[in-house]
């Protein structure tokens, strides 16, 4: 766990050296999470709701282009006890300011599982992130994110294959 945290910290801090403008803050959101199964036979698959919180740094590359990294806690999975799992996520989003306070972005995300080490889930999850944010003021924004799992969340020994599908509706506050 120390190695993973150190890696995430180095990636986040190394991006700082390329920035022209640094903004940082906190992010709070609500999650709607579910799993997209490859196999038939999963009869009941209710979505899981939860709260996301984290801190972010937004590194301006140009007047309109920026890279945002974030470290966030996110409850994911499905709403069945044996399909619930929580992650510390590190999204790296390239975003572009369209007009006014509207930003759109995409990027990869690495998730590190934070509990239940022998539960049939892999310890790492890779996702793609789509992002839209509208800045209401210079400090306060609302955002929507969709995360689609690229990797199978279950261990290789498991007969099941599934990818995460997560929607987040949230608020950002720039400090």
pLDDT along the chain (175 residues), means of 10: 55 53 96 75 71 97 96 83 84 96 97 78 91 97 95 76 88 96
Range of the domain at 169: 2-174
User: Counting beta carbons within 10 angstroms of the beta carbon of residue 16, is it exposed (0 to 12), middle (13 to 18) or buried (19 or more)?
Assistant: exposed
CATH number at residue 9: 2.40.160.20
Q: What is the pLDDT of residue 82?
A: 67
Task: Provide the whole-model pTM.
Answer: 0.79
Q: What is the pLDDT of residue 9?
A: 54
State the total domains in the chain. Answer: 1
Distance spanning both ends of the chain, measured CA to CA = 29
In this structure, the strands spanning 140-149 and 162-174 are antiparallel
| H or E element that contains 128 | strand 124-135
């Amino acid at each position: 766990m120390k190695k993973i945290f150190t890696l995430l910290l180095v990636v986040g801090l190394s991006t700082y050296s390329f920035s022209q403008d640094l903004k940082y803050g906190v992010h709070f959101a609500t999650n709607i999470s579910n799993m997209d199964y490859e196999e038939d036979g999963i009869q009941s698959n209710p979505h899981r709701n939860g709260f996301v919180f984290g801190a972010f740094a937004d590194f301006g590359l140009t007047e309109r282009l920026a890279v945002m990294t974030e470290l966030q806690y996110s409850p994911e999975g499905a709403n069945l006890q044996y399909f619930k799992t929580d992650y510390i996520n590190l999204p790296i989003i390239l975003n572009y300011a369209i007009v006014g306070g509207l930003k759109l972005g995409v990027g990869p995300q690495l998730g590190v599982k934070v509990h239940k080490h022998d539960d049939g889930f892999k310890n790492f999850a890779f996702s793609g992130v789509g992002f839209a944010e509208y800045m209401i003021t210079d400090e306060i924004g609302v955002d929507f994110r969709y995360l689609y799992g690229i990797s199978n969340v279950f261990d290789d020994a498991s007969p099941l294959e599934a990818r995460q599908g997560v929607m987040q509706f949230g608020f950002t506050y720039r400090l």
